[in-house]
Structure 1
Amino acid sequence: MTVAWTAHRFSGGILALDTTNTVVLRCDPARRFDRFDDPAEISRFAAAASIFRHQEIGRPLTVADADAVAPKVRALRESTDALFRRPAAGKPLEADAMAGFLRHCATAIDGREELLATADAPFGPPDKPLAFETALAVSALSLLLPANLKRLKICPNCGWLFLDKSRNSSRLWCDMSVCGNRTKARHHYRRTRMQGEKTYG
């Protein structure tokens, strides 16, 4: 089924986390599913990311061969989640997870003839096409910056990883308009139900 790559799908704060979140209900084996099972969705995701992550990347993202690049993208996505879900939960990084993550970053970049990067443009020359897997690796590596590590969070509603860019690091959900409202609606329902039970109990 074709995915609608709307703004909500880019609630992670940076490309690497948006990509990690393409595995839906990751922590629920019975209901978990992968939006990249169809490699064609990687191309469509990259096209949407060119718009929604333009401020981060500054370049249009391209996928030359979705079938060929899919294993690299999925491997980097999974190693990113394995490494950074721990600090998002207040735990230290693991050496084994770091080693795998760095290998997959290197694999995603190896053999690419890309112009990377300057202090002002970490993804290289603005407005020139950039391979999606290269941009994904650069974005993922940026999560190792201390300023980013301490802002990593896990949405309590859906389990997505996100970077809390709010001024006082008070953001609770990946997307207030979706997960925030759903959580508030559930709490309201429970309160109303409890009040009803007290009234008629």
Structure 2
Amino acid sequence: MSEPLVFIYADESCLGNQFKNRARPGGAAGVVEFWHPEKGWIRRDFWSCEADTTNNRMAIRSALVPLAALKQPSRVVFTSDSRYLVDGMTQWVHGWAARGWKRKDGEVENVEMWRALMPVAARHQLHWRWVKGHAGHPQNEYANHLAIRAATKQIDSGGLVESKFDEWIAEEQEKERYLNFYALPPENFKFKPARKLPTR
């Protein structure tokens, strides 16, 4: 029996990037989706925060939290608007690991977080997708909404929780946004796993 197919849409936020010498609170968040043949889409939300951080750190956390929360190895389609995360996971980490977690010209930024993500992500088969941020992708916009809230309020979901996506999209469609969004089953989705990740 094949591993379950899971879709994760994640985003990150860092408030106060324009300021110096003050804390920059951040948030990472998203929605996890799984298609059930009888119940339809099953969704769970997650969010996390740091009191003083960067967008790049929170992008990594946006992958670490949901991938760690999945109870079994899965085929995961991970969608993010962070080139740092998507390029890092599909291109950069292999070279860093081969060089002892060093870049050709120095230290790897956020190396401890990248190294923490590797064994968590390696449990799964991963298909990475990049989307342009703030371009009207419903799940990405919802993840952005959750991430800003987590950064602003400094709150953590403590794992996967009941999703409010259905209520959110209904409210948005009442405002005549995302009217072309239909929650169709992933019947013809072509899963393309990325290169196997280093585990250490």
Q: TM-score, normalised by structure 2?
A: 0.28
Question: Which structure carries more helix by proportion?
Answer: 1
Higher relative contact order (CA 8 A, sep 6+): 2
